[in-house]
Homo-oligomer: A and B are copies of this chain.
Amino acid sequence: MKPVKIGIIGLGTVGCGTLTVLQRNSQEISRRAGRAIEIAMCAVKNIDKKRDPIANTVKLTNNPNQILESSDIDIVVELIGGIEPAYDYVTHALRNGKHVVTANKELLAVRGKDLFQIAQDQSVVIAFEAAVGGGISIIKAIREGLAGNRIQSLIGIINGTSNYILTGMKENQCSFNDMLEESQKLGYAEADPTFDIAGIDAVHKLIILASIAFGVPLQKISDVNRIGIESITYDDIAYANELGFSVKPLAIAKRSQSGIEIRVHPALISNQRLLANVNGVMNAILVTGDAAGRTLYYGAGAGAEPTASAVVADLVDVVRVMTSDPENRVPHLAFQPNSISSLPVLSVNEISTANYLRMTVENQAGVLAEVTKILGDHEISIESILQKGTGSHEDVLPVVIITQETVESRMLRAIEQLESLDSVKGTITRIRIEDLN
């Protein structure tokens, strides 16, 4: 099938990230979508502005109408943010029968009702996975993955800047203002940080999530109870911690007998909970459904490529919507059947992991030297040793060794040699260690 042509409006961080991901992963993307996605044109305000070199690989215009009115372009990607002129561009695109992919939570929260109505009238799609949760496909999870559930509540950390500031205050034992300044230096907070720290960004996102979860209209911003994080002091974080809690910037929508609660504010949550351990700029959303129970979705909530990941996923979804050909359904195994390709499966001997070794050794001088020498002979580095009962009068003692990463075959040869030592009794227990890096 011929490529789908798209136009992108806005080449800021997310726009350039989207170009990067579309180009770098073009093969994987067409193997999944069944069609290539081709960037026909990108509209920017100022063509001469210095931007990521990736922008030099595409055709630029400073006239968005060249995209909005092109008969060649099927999908418009709106990545400028804010309500105006984004609203004009999106309605223009929809009225011209183009599908729209957007990351613009404010636009959807405030003007979504109109926009979805226009899209429905025109029989086109507005896809907006990138509007909430960055690289976490939370819209898809709630809207499709939990379609069998009556959803009871969603509780999320959906503003990375606020989470970064509160996490940093705890870790660095510093004030709100110090961390805000650091966040601004690192680019995690805007020069005017109000949208993030006052919870407005989270309100926009929560309005979208609550509608999808409960089947209610997009709520008014003024109906959401909102408290920012700016009044949290380091003392509060320290006292909370002493009592077993972390302070987290939460967005909460709950269904109760008499209606729904919808609110954004910092809150204490028990350190036992996974949400309390979602730190830095990471986001996570805990959804409770009557059938699925609690499910949690975690990942980077912002940033060029995580957000681009959601934009591209939406593009692939829209490509599928565009044709009713059954070939264009989601393939059973994710990739089009004719583009599944074998990769060699590594023999277990070739894999590398760190290892936990537990052995029972004779309680006498020099045994540990023997053991470590054999590991050294096999070029296996030791990360740490735990020797129990040293100084006791037992005949044998347990020794636990954590090795650094080593190729499996070498580890197994070393274990064989260790087990042949007179001073090592019985077999050695070996458990692999995964560092998750």
Contacts and interface: CB of A to CB of B under 8 A. Distances in A.
Contact of A334 (B137, B142, B340, B434): B142
A142 B299 CA distance: 13
Contacts of A344: 258-260
Contacts of A306: 291-293
B334 A215 contact: yes
Given A291-B306, A309-B292, A342-B216, A116 B337 contact: yes
B256 A358 contact: no
Contact of A265 (B126, B255, B432): B432
Nearest to A218: B333
A400 interface: yes
A358 to B, nearest CB: 6
B436 A386 contact: no
Interface string A250-284: 10100110111111011111100111011000000
- Each complex incorporates copies of this chain amounting to 2
Contacts of A329: 125, 321
Given A28-B150, A321-B329, A250 B342 contact: no
Interface residues of A, number: 140
B29 A147 contact: yes
Contact of A339 (B215, B316, B339): B215
Given A148-B309, A240-B356, A299-B295, A141 B143 contact: no
Given A299-B294, A334-B142, A429-B236, A215 B135 contact: no
Nearest to A219: B345
B211 A333 contact: yes
B293 A243 contact: no
Contact of A259 (B213, B291, B345): B345
Interface string A299-316: 110010110111111011
11 contacts: A21-B149, A28-B149, A129-B145, A137-B141, A137-B145, A137-B146, A148-B311, A211-B340, A236-B356, A243-B384, A274-B277
